[in-house]
Amino acid sequence: MYKYITLLIVLFTSSFSFAQKEDSLFIRSIYDEALTNGKCYGNLEYLCKEIGARLSGSPQADLAINWGEQTLKDLNLDKVYRQEILVPVWKRGQRERANIMDSYLVGNKPMNIKALGGSIGTPPKGITAEVVVVESIQELSTRPESDFSGKIVLFNRPMDAKLIDTFSAYGGCVDQRWAGAKEAVKYGAVAVLVRSLTHNTDEHAHTGVMDYGDYGQKIPAAAVSTDDANAINQIVKKEGKCMVNLSLSCSSLPDAVSYNVIGEITGSEKPDSVIIIGGHLDSWDVGEGAHDDGAGIVHCIEAMRLIKESGYKPRFTIRCVLFMNEENGNRGGKKYAEEAAAKKEYQYFALESDRGGFSPRGFSIDATLEEDVYKIQSWSGLLSPYGLHLYKKGYAGVDIKPIKEKQDTVTMCGFIPDSQRYFDYHHSDKDVFETVNQRELELGAASIASMIYLVDKYGWESR
């Protein structure tokens, strides 16, 4: 009896060791191909330099859709198609202007600002008003309404420099940008300025989406550079008062037709169960959308190429989705989830890349079942030689979040690169192709392709 059990253990161990070696060699081949023949960097250069910034509903977004569709077709996938959506259309208009007015410390000083996405414009002559500095939305309710009535509110809470994870620091103050205007207007404010969400102290303003809610009354909203936020704060402290003139010409237009772009490799065993990889094709209308999210787009296109080039025959259908409208509405993510649910498709796994093109560090895991978390963590030995060491429970991504809202059993991952430089560029003029390192970018695509291989081969067999 004991000899029989020992034999089974030996056979199991030998089989497991062989599988581990086979997987290790396959993953090594993925990385070798990416690092010697990778297409990520060239694809990103075209997307950034030939198309550029691509806000939803813009001509550049349409060009990006055409490019994405053709690039996926060039991979000879089994299917490539568009999924129609309606997207909001917001235009920045003429360049924003803002000036500190006749301060003893700085005189008349032009400021670096960017209107927040979705903001209304100012009257043609702009708005001139005193600036009141606050550290949080909550502070509005602790002071008399007269402190804010007829004034411009500057939300000046910085990102927490003590947090190692810069996305946590961003999450700790993004409410100022998102909800600052709709809250300040309740206290009589005539406009809001928001300190740019970056650890850097510099002259660059970082835009982003904001929301007016259902209050009814709307006021203009803009991000201000950290340099200028500090200047205003210093003037208020030393002079007791700071006057600013603000001029925005932005506006919203009717919704427009746009598209998600989808490419598929059909599964050999379970074609009706889908593994999704994706990023968002749109960007803000400043910079070139290189890290946010051009990197994620080319990561996922390249992962499809790497799987196809390897000769591996996936058991499940692998679907690459180039989502549209993540930045100011997530209409693409919502539409994808709605249509998948209407078709009763089974979403087996979803992975998003939307944290830039920096060196790979691991994956966040959003899973209903703990066994799925443990399964992904069990692959760390195969992936650790490539610098992938983070396998923590956490948020996976904006575009794929609606999938889980429709099907809560789906397990999802977010690709995690090093985060320390991401918010130097995020939503600003600095998010350009030249800030992306070729080798780091290609490593990201290989990391995603390797994770998809392991999910497809081993996954969660009970579903």
Give the tokens for residue 189.
């404010």
Could you read off the pLDDT tens digit of each residue along the chain, which spans 463 residues?
A: 445 434 333 333 444 466 789 999 999 999 999 999 999 999 999 999 999 999 999 999 999 999 999 999 999 999 999 999 999 999 999 999 999 998 888 888 999 999 999 999 999 999 999 999 999 999 999 999 999 999 999 999 999 999 999 999 999 999 999 999 999 999 999 999 999 999 999 999 999 999 999 888 999 999 999 999 999 999 999 999 999 999 999 999 999 999 999 999 999 999 999 999 999 999 999 999 999 999 999 999 999 999 999 999 999 999 999 999 999 999 999 999 999 999 999 999 999 999 999 999 999 999 999 999 999 999 999 999 999 999 999 999 999 999 999 999 999 999 999 999 999 999 999 999 999 999 999 999 999 999 999 999 999 865 6
Read off the pTM: 0.94
Beta bridge partners of 192: 153, 221
Contacts of 272 (CB under 8 A, 6+ apart): 317, 345, 346
E-strand stretches of 346-424: 346-352, 360-366, 390-393, 411-417
Alpha carbon dihedral 403, 405, 411, 417, in 10-degree steps, equals 70
Give the tokens for residue 280.
């968002």
Domains of the chain plus CATH, in order, are 28-90+254-457 (3.40.630.10), 94-249 (3.50.30.30)
Amino acid at 301: I
Residues classed as catalytic: 326
Count of CB atoms situated within 10 Å of the CB of 233:
17
Pairing mode, if any, of strands 360-366 and 79-91? unpaired
384 neighbors 447 (Cβ within 8 angstroms) = no
